[in-house]
Every structure is written in C-alpha cells, then in structure tokens.
Amino acid sequence: MTGSLDIISVGAPVTVQDAGRPGQMHHGVPPGGPLVPELLALANRAVGNPHGTAALEAFGRLELRARGRPLRVSVDGRVYTLTDGESLPVSAPETRSVRYVAVEGGLAVPEVLGGRGTLLVAKLGGHAGRLLRAGDALPLGAANTHGTAPTLDDRVDAVAPIRVTLGPDTHRFEPATVATLLSGAFTVSASSDRVGMRLEGPALTHGDEGAGTSRPMVRGAIQVTLSGTPIVLGPDHPTTGGYPLIATVIRADWGSLCARRPGAPVRFQEVSLDEARHAWRAFAMRMGLDNRHSP
C-alpha cells in the first residue's frame, strides 16, 4: 500500500538523511550520512528498518501527518502508530543537537549517486535537494510487519572526552599547541553545521599561511584555520582542503561529538590507532553495524 509522510510545519532545519554515499569522493561528493549514527540506527531499528534507511534529521520541532495508510513512526526509538490522516507533533531536541524520525518502510525519495540523503551544498538528494518545509509530502517504502523496539537507553555519551588520533600534521604545530588541544576546554560554536563543527576556546596557533598542498579530507579531521580556530569536519565536509590537520576524531566518537548542542563542552583525549580500531569494533558490535571498514 502506497502512502506518504506529510510535513505540516517545521520550526528548524529538517532534511532527509540515510547511511550516506561512500565511495563518491573522487567525484567531489562527500560521504554524507547522519550527524549522530547511533540515533539514526536506533530510530530505524524501532520500526524494523535497516539501520541506515532514509529518515528525517531534525534540529527543532516539526509536525507530521500520515497519508494513504497507517504508519509506525519512531522518534529516537520511541514508536507511535498513526492512522491515515492522523498527525504527530515532534518536539525540539532537549538534551541533544538533533533527533531522528524514522517511518516503517523508510522514506522512498529518489536515490542519487547511491544515497537518498540530502546534500545541501550540492542541492541533491533528499526532497529536491533542499530543506524540508510545510506542504512537502515524502513517499514511503513498502511497510513491514517485523521489528521490535530496542531498549531506549542513552547510547550517546555527550559529555565524555572525544578520542582523537594525532596528525597527520603535528609537525606543523609547536608541542605546546598540541598539548593545548589535549588539555584545553573547548565549546561547540553556534556557527556549526553538517559541513563542520567550529569550536571556541584556546587558539591553536601554527604560523601556517595556507601554503599547504590541498589534499583529500575525511570526516572527523580537525582543521586549524589561520586564526587558530579548530573545525571538526562533518559528514558534508569538503572533499579536499589545505589547512593543517592537528588530529582526527575517531569514528566511534562521531556521534558523541555531533550530538552536542552549541555551548556544550568538548575535551579531547589522544588514543593510538590500535585503540581507535578496537573502539570502532566494540561500537559496531553494540550497534549491530558492519565493522569491516575500520578506521
């Protein structure tokens, strides 16, 4: 039975996001994916979808309506059953930066370059490559009848130190600057978005005047601007860049960092590459994800 999820109202940016578009960097397309992978997986599993199924990533309140068939809708893992024509108000995130709304069967927006997620910087994917607004109707995939809600616990630790591997450009920073990264108290800037999280705090001076060669970037890389401001690259990051990279946030901690609201504290902790791999394997096992692609 066909159906749609209608957008009645939105109070902050809302987009369609899924597991991302891996393998498209050579075309200049960033990997994308959810800001907080744990919450997308939690929302989808609650209604029987695979963890990376297309869902809504919302930064504020919104109101939705079932159209064409009854729907099971999950908001961060809490399931609601809507009859045809019934609406559901979704409140703004209270303790985290973002929340995820998954629908049984997933959002069947067109697949572009291997993914359904919205890439705003390129105006592709999602619903016409843009932010959702009142009046939009999102087509749905086929409904299923399996899947039970997992226990809703705090799977995202938004206060723990963020683990990083140092480099590859530590030689372009004084040892005291690297020590500042690992001991300094930073906070999330309100100017952060899916491209990158800007951090406020002590300056990470390096004296580099932008002479570095442009090279491929990855999610989690910590670029340091000429003013000494660290920016942690997000899922929609530029595919190349020339700012020096002082460290990289490990994959297992992407969600812990990106779940933090503006003003939230951020501290960094150095780990080895082996520790980063072990953390990812443990994370993937806990979330039931594919851990073949370790950092």
Tell whether 46 is covered by a domain. Answer: yes
User: Whole domain around residue 24: which residue ranges?
Assistant: 4-139
Looking at the fold, whether 99 and 183 belong to one and the same domain comes out as no
Looking at the fold, whether 254 and 178 belong to one and the same domain comes out as yes
Query: Measured between alpha carbons, how far is 138 from 132 in angstroms, rounded to an integer?
Result: 10
pLDDT reported for residue 285: 83
End-to-end Cα distance, the chain = 41
Tell whether 155 is covered by a domain. Answer: no
Q: What's this model's pTM, rounded to 2 decimal places? A: 0.92
The total number of structural domains in the chain stands at 2
Looking at the fold, whether 23 and 59 belong to one and the same domain comes out as yes
Tell whether 276 is covered by a domain. Answer: yes
pLDDT at 194 over 50: yes
pLDDT at 92 over 50: yes
Per residue in 155-175, pLDDT (tens digit) is: 688 889 999 999 999 989 999
Mean pLDDT of the 264-290 span = 90
> In Å, how far from its chain's centre is CA 21?
13
Tell whether 157 is covered by a domain. Answer: no
Can you say whether residue 214 is alpha, beta or left, with left for phi > 0 and alpha for psi between -120 and 50 degrees?
A: beta
Instruction: Please enumerate in sequence order all residues whose Cβ is within 8 A of that of 175, keeping only pairs 6 or more positions apart, or say none.
Output: none
Are the C-beta atoms of residues 291 and 280 closer than 8 Å to each other?
yes
pLDDT at 28 over 80: yes
Looking at the fold, whether 99 and 171 belong to one and the same domain comes out as no
Mean pLDDT of the 213-235 span = 93
Tell whether 153 is covered by a domain. Answer: no
